Structure 1
Amino acid sequence: MTEESAVKVCVRVRPLIARKNQRFILVLFHSNGNVNTNLSLLTDRVFAADETTSQLYNDIAKPLVVSTVEGYNGTIFAYGQTSSGKTFTMMGTSRTLGVIPQAVEDVFQTIKNFPKKEFLLRVSYMEIYNETVTDLLVDSWKRKPLEVREQINVG
């Protein structure tokens, strides 16, 4: 292992709350004490810890869900450190619905609102963990890693 690959990085984002299309600075603190502030990102939205899953769903996911009912493809992707709240945000609890249950509810409510229109739903529910892709719609005892292909026809 080289010295460079052994460097541990801690990330701090400033400001913690970014408005739409606001640029913010990503500050990297290396274990050797060096600081790199040369990186910046353009965000759609960064949510603070005190904001609810419903706020996140209404601001980010609901417009995407509505557009899928209009025929567009959509992806909701949760990314973050282990134990950072991804599963809670996506699944929720029996009292606090997560993004996925709210999205499913909205899709079927929208379909119900258009009784004369025909809909075809295709849904994928996957987990990417330790570079392994798993289909979460398959029974857990049958589950095996999915094959990742770079090109549809070649493999």
Structure 2
Amino acid sequence: MERIHVTMRARPLSAEDAKTSPWRIFGNSIAIPNHSKFEFDRIFGEDCKTFEVYESKTKNIVVAVVRGFNGTVFAYGQTNSGKTHTIRGSATEPGVIPLAVRKEMQSGPLKVRVAELILHCPRLCKRPN
């Protein structure tokens, strides 16, 4: 298996957010011009469909798992950033888990463990003394 790849999927901005957002995507970087810049292995733009994310980045992980290797697909981001949409999907646009089950895991009996954890803490919690 290859090294860890970090990709980003930009969710479409509302009309109001688009007017005020300082973020700009340049190739595989997202930046606030003249301030901060973050590099990724790949950035999927706002018009990207989940199938493209699956085919480009998730499929190889799933195929490796079917062959007996370990693999992880991890979605991280703030509330309403599109994590659940990408992982679970909807009736009209399946997420990466339904796509994996439909496409890669139909070759016969297979035992796969999937864990979904949702961590939510709006502020840093202090450890008790």
TM-score (ref. length: structure 1): 0.54
For 2:66, the aligned partner's letter is: V
Instruction: Figure out how many residues of one structure are paired with residues of the other and give that number.
Output: 102
SS where residue 63 of structure 2 aligns?
helix
The alpha-carbon distance between structure 1 residues 64 and 11, as it changes in their structure 2 partners (threshold 3 A), is: farther
Residue number in structure 2 paired with 1:12: 23
Deviations 1:53-108 (A, max 9, x none): 11111111111101111121111111222212221121111222111111222342
The correspondence for 1:51, drawn from 38, 44, 48, is 48
CA RMSD of aligned residues (A): 2.6
Q: Unpaired runs of 5+ in structure 2?
A: 1-20, 123-129
Residue number in structure 2 paired with 1:77: 74
Supply the distance in 1 between the matched residues of 2:104 and 2:120 (Cα, whole angstroms): 27
Supply the distance in 2 between the matched residues of 1:49 and 1:25 (Cα, whole angstroms): 13
SS where residue 61 of structure 1 aligns?
helix
| Counterparts of residues 28-107 of structure 1 (less than 5 Å) | 36-37=35-36, 39-41=37-39, 43-107=40-104
SS where residue 46 of structure 1 aligns?
strand
Deviation at 1:40, TM superposition (A): 4.4
How much identity, in percent, do the aligned residues show?
Answer: 35
Deviations 1:29-67 (A, max 9, x none): xxxxxx634x542x2211001111111111111111011
Q: Unpaired runs of 5+ in structure 1?
A: 1-9, 19-23, 29-34, 113-117, 132-155
Deviations 1:88-144 (A, max 9, x none): 1211112221111112223422x33xxxxx74422222222228xxxxxxxxxxxxx
Runs of 4+ in 1 over 6 A off after TM superposition: none
TM-score (ref. length: structure 2): 0.64
Compare the two structures and name the one with the higher strand fraction: 1
Supply the distance in 1 between the matched residues of 2:99 and 2:120 (Cα, whole angstroms): 24
1:65–1:106 Cα contact (<8 Å) kept? no
SS where residue 125 of structure 1 aligns?
coil
Supply the distance in 2 between the matched residues of 1:65 and 1:104 (Cα, whole angstroms): 9
Supply the distance in 2 between the matched residues of 1:92 and 1:119 (Cα, whole angstroms): 23
Say whether residues 1:130 and 2:129 are aligned partners. no
| Counterparts of residues 104-119 of structure 1 (less than 5 Å) | 104-109=101-106, 111-112=107-108, 119=110
2:88–2:94 Cα contact (<8 Å) kept? yes
